[in-house]
Structure 1
Amino acid sequence: MPRQVDHVARRAEIIAAAWTCMGETGIEGLTLRAVAASAQCGLGRITHYFNDKEELIVATLSAFVDETFATLDAQEPKTIDELVEGLAEFHLPTSETTFRLGLVWLHFWARAAYDEGLAEINRLWYAGLRGGLARMIGGLQELGQVPATVDASDAADQIAIVLDGIGIQAALDRRLWAPSRQTAVLGTYIAQILHVESEQRQPRLRMVRDE
């Protein structure tokens, strides 16, 4: 009896290997042979599921967007601190995994500026990010953690911009942007954007800068 093959799992394994390779070499340095080596399979398996490198890149980035949306959907912060900590953990280069994802995203942006297919993935990513942020802010408003006068959609736009700014700086200079500083700066800006008390965060930010 022929052995049953889980094609979904195999595609997922290849995509995971592609992420690993892109984190090491960037998008431009990606090769199908390197992906095959990382996935511990033959090159033929890669080309069976993906016609070429470009198709694999699009599939890998699309999978990242889907995974991010799932992460956002699962987040239901009850306080501002929980919002900050969740965003710092999953959306800033505060760990080795998210650092490598950040490097891949920098390469992605460079290509998306000239590639309409990748530009569309970028638009979907930001629409999902802003939507998830607005939902979480709305939930915090219902809990009385954020003033009802705050426009959740506008605040989500601003927080997305802050995440990008911190993420780029931290990806390019890990020495200056330790995880603790990333989280502290993010918390300070979110407190300002959401019009909540930020005095408790300000001393923490100064302390991290003085280290």
Structure 2
Amino acid sequence: MPKLADHDARRAQIADAVLRIAGSTGLHSVTMRSVAAEAGVSVRLVQYYFETKEQLLQFTLTRLAQHMAERLRVRVAAAGEAPTPRDVVNAVLTEALPTDAESRTFHLLYTAYAVLAVTDAKLAAQPFVDAPNAMEDLLVAQLRAAQQAGDMTAQLDARVETVGLLAMSAGLGTSVLLGQRTKRDALAVLHYHLNRIMPTS
């Protein structure tokens, strides 16, 4: 068991080095050599745990997504013991915005990875596709629950509204990264559309 724990710690150490590099100079700067230098280990050790750069990036993205999922759980929990569908949707959309260092790194890495995956089949791993689909299904379920509770108009298409909200959230995140608008302005836009779908009393 101790050896397994050491291996996990090493993988985490290496993945965290990837995040620091990607967050400061971009995903294109991530190489086995640059990661080894940032992590303070040998290139051979990085290659021992990750035979290819693709494996390294996939592991790092998965690790970061797990961190963001935990942040989301904390945000939802902060809404109270019985969060409403609106609370959950608001938490998801808010967490998706680059409002601090970790969420900024997630947005940068995820967006850059997605662009690379378009032209590199090795990077287009199934988990990368499954995660957004799972998030979409989660929000669809929340919107339908809101409809059943009478908090959202039954005539609205929950799936279409969800797709629109997620696409808008992603676009707003990019606009924040580019400095086109502030985090506060992006949140205001999200809340405007959320209020349109699920008006507050």
User: Which category describes the TM-score, using the shorter chain as reference length?
Assistant: 0.7 to 0.9
Question: Which of 124, 127, 130 is equivalent to 2:130?
Answer: 124
Q: Quickly say closer, same or farther: Cα 1:85–1:55, change in 2 above 3 A.
A: closer
Aligned residues: 192
Name 1:197's counterpart in structure 2.
199
- Give CA deviations for 1:146-195 in whole Å, capped at 9, x if unaligned: 2344332222111111111111211112xx42211111011112233x2x
Q: Quickly say closer, same or farther: Cα 1:98–1:68, change in 2 above 3 A.
A: closer
Name 2:110's counterpart in structure 1.
105
Q: Residue 104 of structure 2: SS of its match in structure 1? A: helix
Q: CA deviation at 1:86?
A: 4.5
Could you tell me the TM-score, scaled by structure 1's length? 0.75
Matching of residues 21-170 of structure 1 within 5 Å: 21-68=21-68, 75=76, 77-78=83-84, 80=86, 83-88=89-94, 90-119=95-124, 120-170=126-176
Question: Which of 161, 168, 185 is equivalent to 1:181?
Answer: 185
Name 1:171's counterpart in structure 2.
177
CA contact (8 A) 2:93 2:166 kept: no
CA contact (8 A) 1:162 1:189 kept: no
- Give CA deviations for 1:58-84 in whole Å, capped at 9, x if unaligned: 222233445555666774742636632
Paired with 2:158 and 2:9, the residues of 1 have a C-alpha distance of 38
Instruction: Give 5+ residue unaligned stretches, structure 2.
Output: 78-82
Name 2:80's counterpart in structure 1.
none
Paired with 2:71 and 2:137, the residues of 1 have a C-alpha distance of 13
CA contact (8 A) 2:72 2:91 kept: no
Q: Quickly say closer, same or farther: Cα 1:143–1:118, change in 2 above 3 A.
A: farther
Paired with 1:84 and 1:122, the residues of 2 have a C-alpha distance of 23
Q: Quickly say closer, same or farther: Cα 1:146–1:38, change in 2 above 3 A.
A: farther
Could you tell me the TM-score, scaled by structure 2's length? 0.78
Q: Residue 13 of structure 1: SS of its match in structure 2? A: helix
Paired with 1:139 and 1:71, the residues of 2 have a C-alpha distance of 23
More divergent stretch after superposition (179-188 vs 102-111) = 102-111
Cα RMSD (Å): 2.9
Paired with 1:84 and 1:141, the residues of 2 have a C-alpha distance of 16
CA contact (8 A) 2:97 2:169 kept: yes
Paired with 1:28 and 1:168, the residues of 2 have a C-alpha distance of 18
Name 1:9's counterpart in structure 2.
9
One-letter code aligned to 2:108: L
Q: Quickly say closer, same or farther: Cα 1:68–1:9, change in 2 above 3 A.
A: same
